[in-house]
Structure 1
């Protein structure tokens, strides 16, 4: 995937390029989804409440697990600057460490 054309899971304000091919589908709580590379899939999943990730049929082994695991340590909308003080601003891993959630 070229730098000019990114996967559908890449947020327009996220400046990062794709890392690898499109291999996962990320669904929100309403079952709307986007296909993406593991990198943007993880960033999207981290920004959703109640999101899920599934490997596409031709995905490499454990692609969805890697995406899910990466999302746990990523803050929602991590490309935005500003103070991050509320639980909704923190990663799942940070919330577990601070609040036992």
Structure 2
């Protein structure tokens, strides 16, 4: 790999970082990783009850952008295959299925 990626990038996710490390994404137990907005959103989408916080030098609204993007991203979106179970769909897709 030519360029190191942020700590939030999953080893199987082939996408490059989308800017500087700007957010901290935490799981339900408080464990987490710092990452760029792109990988932060992909990580947050893959967590149940995850949270995102801006780092002190983050661009304005970085955490809001990550939270908003994660809503439409499927968990582990780099994994191919059919997706029919609610746990395999984005939060937005699940809301649409439920008519909300």
Q: Please report the TM-score for the alignment, with normalisation by the length of structure 2.
A: 0.96
Counterpart position of 2:39: 40
- 1:97 alignment partner in structure 2: 96
Asked whether the 8 Å contact 1:3–1:17 carries over to 2, the reply is no
Cα deviation for residue 94 of structure 1 reads 0.2
Query: Structure 1, residues 57-94: CA drift from partner, whole Å, max 9, x if none?
Result: 01010000000000000000000011100000000000
3-state secondary structure, aligned to 1:65: helix
Secondary structure, counterpart of 2:24 in structure 1: strand
Question: How far did residue 100 of structure 1 move?
Answer: 4.1
Instruction: Give the whole-Å Cα distance in 2 for the aligned partners of 1:3 and 1:37.
Output: 17
After the TM superposition, which segments of 4 or more aligned residues of structure 1 sit over 6 Å from their partners? none
Gaps of 5+ in 2: none
Instruction: Tell me the number of residue pairs that the alignment of Structure 1 and Structure 2 aligns.
Output: 100
